[in-house]
Amino acid sequence: MSHSSNSTDEILRKRGYRLTPQRHMILSVIQEANEHLSIEQIAERVQQINPYVSLSTVYRTLDLLKNLELIREGHIPGEQAHYEAADGQAHHHLICRRCRQTIHLDTALLGNLDKQLQEQYHFHHLALDLVATGYCSACWQAIQQEEQGPENLAEPPARQSQ
C-alpha cells in the first residue's frame, strides 16, 4: 500500500470506516487523474478495473470521501459536479465558459481571505475553493468574430481617391 493509501486508511479508521477495495479504487482513480472527473468518468474508470462496482457504490463512496475531505467536489455553472483529490489547501479555478479550459490559480492570489472570513464571520475549519468563469483569449476572439457576422469579416472596400 502506498503512503497515500496508508494516510487515507488512517483517516478512515479514525472516523470509523475501512479502506475497502472499492473505496481504494475510486480514490486512486481520482488521485491519478490529470483532470477533474465527473461521476460517470469515475464510474467508467473504476468499472474498467472491476466491472462489479456499481454506480450506487461510486455515489456513496464519493459522498463519504467528500465528507472526510479526501476529495473536492466542484461545480461549474450549468454542468454536473466534478471531483478531484483534496490536498488540504485553498483551491481556486479559472474556467472558460466556452471551451471549459481550467486553470488552477495560485493559492496566494486571495491572500489571507480565509483567515479574514474566519475572524469576521466566526467560521471555523474554513475551506476556500473559488471558481471564477469567463472566456479564454481564443474563445473571446471567436465570440467577437461571431458577433460581427460574416458580412463584417470581409476586407473594407478600398477608398477611391478624388
Class of domain 89-149: alpha beta
Binding site as annotated, residues:
96, 99, 136, 139
d(CA 4, CA 19): 12
Binding site as annotated, residues for Zn(2+):
96, 99, 136, 139
The strand pair at 82-85 and 37-38 is best described as antiparallel
d(CA 150, CA 20): 58
pLDDT in tens, 118-139: 899 998 877 777 888 899 999 9
Spell out the domain ranges in the chain.
1-87, 89-149
Helix (H) or strand (E) holding 82: strand 82-85
Question: DSSP secondary-structure letter at 45?
Answer: H
Query: What's the mean pLDDT in 20-38?
Result: 92
CB 74 within 8 A of CB 93: yes
CATH topology classification for 1-87: Arc Repressor Mutant, subunit A (1.10.10)
Statement: the pTM of the whole predicted model exceeds 0.75? no
